[in-house]
Amino acid sequence: MAGENPVFIPGPTNMPERVRRAIDIPSRDHRAPDFVAFLGPLLDDVKAVFKTRSAEILTFPASGTGGWEAAITNALSPGDKVLAARYGMFSQRWIDLCRHHGLDVEVLECPWGEGAPVARYGERLAADTGHEIKAVLVTHNETATGVVSDVGALRRAMDAAGHPAMLFVDCVSSLASMDFRMDEWGVDIAVSGSQKGFMLPAGMAILAVSPKAMAACESARSGRSFFDFRQMAGATGQGGYPYTPPLQLLAGLRESLDMLLEEGLENVFARHRHIAEGVRRAVDAWGLRLCAARPELYSDTVSTVMVPEGFDAEALTNHALQAYGVSFGIGLGETAGKAFRIGHLGMLSETLALSGLATIEMAMRDLDYPITLGSGVAAAQEHYRAGRRLARASAA
Summarize pLDDT for 97-154 with one digit per residue, the tens: 999 999 999 999 999 999 999 999 999 999 999 999 999 999 999 999 999 999 999 9
What pLDDT band is residue 5 in, cutting at 50, 70 and 90?
A: low
In-domain check, residue 379 = yes
pLDDT at residue 1 greater than cutoff 50: no
In-domain check, residue 1 = no
Count CB-CB contacts under 10 A for residue 234. Answer: 12
Mean pLDDT taken over the chain = 96
Tell me what the mean pLDDT of segment 238-260 comes to.
96
What pLDDT band is residue 390 in, cutting at 50, 70 and 90?
A: confident
pLDDT at residue 317 greater than cutoff 90: yes
What 3-state DSSP class applies to 343? Answer: strand
pLDDT at residue 2 greater than cutoff 60: no
The answer to whether residues 357 and 279 touch, using CB atoms and an 8 Å cutoff, is yes
251 and 178 inside one domain: yes
Which of the listed residues 262, 289, 305 is the one where a domain comes to its end? 262
Tell me what the mean pLDDT of segment 6-18 comes to.
94
Peptide bond into 6 cis (omega under 30): no
236 and 269 inside one domain: no
Q: What is the pLDDT of residues 255-277, one digit of tens each?
A: 999 999 999 999 999 999 999 99
Residue 3: per-residue pLDDT: 55
In-domain check, residue 2 = no
207 and 343 inside one domain: no
Q: Which amino acid is at 301?
A: T
Question: Angle at CA 305, nearest 5°, toward 270 and 333?
Answer: 110
Domain that includes residue 351, residue range:
7-11+264-395
278 and 254 inside one domain: no
Residue 387: per-residue pLDDT: 82
Surface-to-core class of residue 285, CB atoms within 10 Å of its CB (0-12 exposed, 13-18 middle, 19+ buried): buried
344 and 247 inside one domain: no
